[in-house]
Amino acid sequence: MALTPEEVLRTARPFSALPDGDRQHLSAVAEVRSFAAGEVILREAEPSDFLYTIVSGRVKVFKMTPSGKDIILGVFGSGDPVGSVAVFKEHPYPATAVALEDTVCIRIPRTALFSLLERYPTIARGLLLGLTQRLVELVNRVGELTGARVEPRLARLFLRLAREIGREEGGGIFVPLALSRQELSDMTGTTIETCIRVMSKWQKEDTVHTGRDGFVVLDRETLTALANS
């Protein structure tokens, strides 16, 4: 049975802390949307007419450089808002969001959202708290892409994904997220050749094994040492 907007808002961050009345107001204008793997959720430069929040699944957000190279800004999951800054600033979406797997989002029209925020200030406070917490998390991740050698950057990325979505399996931590070498290089600000070299080294050393459905972190201690180097 498909979930209703009110059921989704009750459990999805950043809406779960809202009072019941506020969630009911939002659910009256929200809709639940499903996206297949590979489907575009929102596109760079398009009007930011909707605020999306991921209910389930994984979404890749990336931006294309003038040279035509995709730069992955992040991989987001359950509870994460997508395009929120553009919505609140009434600017076009600054990046493209694509579903990495079958994904469900809650979608709220910007005009309806703004109307509710003006009428019910408690909604604004609740959303501000949730979005601020997410912003702090994103700012803390900036260090993963700057000021370090490539191997520590990759180690930090793998450790974070293992912590956030990994599960104990087969003597290691399995992360059910298949990322190509190109995607890994985009996420860590390096070249695909360097990424291939590091991942090949880790495969031989039984540090991280990759497969069609994701990867397995086998030696968390080695990755932790690299991440802190």
* Residue range 173-219, pLDDT digits in tens: 998 877 888 888 877 777 889 889 999 999 999 999 988 788 899 99
Query: Which residue in the block uniquely carries the two structure tokens 């996420």?
Result: 187
CA 21 to chain centre: 28
When the pLDDT of each residue in the chain is averaged and rounded to a whole number, the result is: 83
Note down the domain range covering 84: 5-140
CATH of the domain at 122: 2.60.120.10
- Whether residues 134 and 149 fall in one domain: no
When divided into structural domains, the chain yields a total of 2
Identify the pLDDT of residue 165.
78
Within the chain, what is the greatest distance between any pair of CA atoms?
60
**pLDDT above 60 for 140:** no
* pTM of the shown model: 0.67
- Whether residues 108 and 202 fall in one domain: no
* Residue range 108-135, pLDDT digits in tens: 999 999 999 888 888 877 777 666 666 6
- Whether residues 94 and 168 fall in one domain: no
* Residue range 46-97, pLDDT digits in tens: 999 999 999 888 898 888 777 777 777 778 888 888 888 888 888 999 899 9
d(CA 147, CA 142): 9
Mark which of 107, 140, 173 sits at the end of a domain. Answer: 140
Q: How big is the chain, counted in residues?
A: 229
Identify the pLDDT of residue 31.
92
- Whether residues 22 and 61 fall in one domain: yes
- Whether residues 101 and 150 fall in one domain: no
- Whether residues 116 and 153 fall in one domain: no
C-beta pairs of 9-12 under 8 Å, 24+ apart in sequence: 9/106, 12/53, 12/54, 12/55, 12/78, 12/79, 12/106
Phi first, then psi: what are they for 216, rounded to 5°?
-120, 120
- Whether residues 135 and 58 fall in one domain: yes
- Whether residues 13 and 86 fall in one domain: yes
| pLDDT confidence tier of residue 41, bands split at 50, 70 and 90 | very high
Q: Where are the beta strands (DSSP E) in the chain?
A: 31-35, 40-42, 50-56, 59-64, 70-76, 81-82, 96-99, 103-109, 167-169, 172-175, 208-211, 214-217
- Whether residues 107 and 199 fall in one domain: no
- Whether residues 74 and 155 fall in one domain: no
Mark which of 115, 140, 165 sits at the end of a domain. Answer: 140
- Whether residues 153 and 205 fall in one domain: yes
- Whether residues 32 and 121 fall in one domain: yes
**pLDDT above 90 for 148:** no
Mark which of 124, 140, 156 sits at the end of a domain. Answer: 140
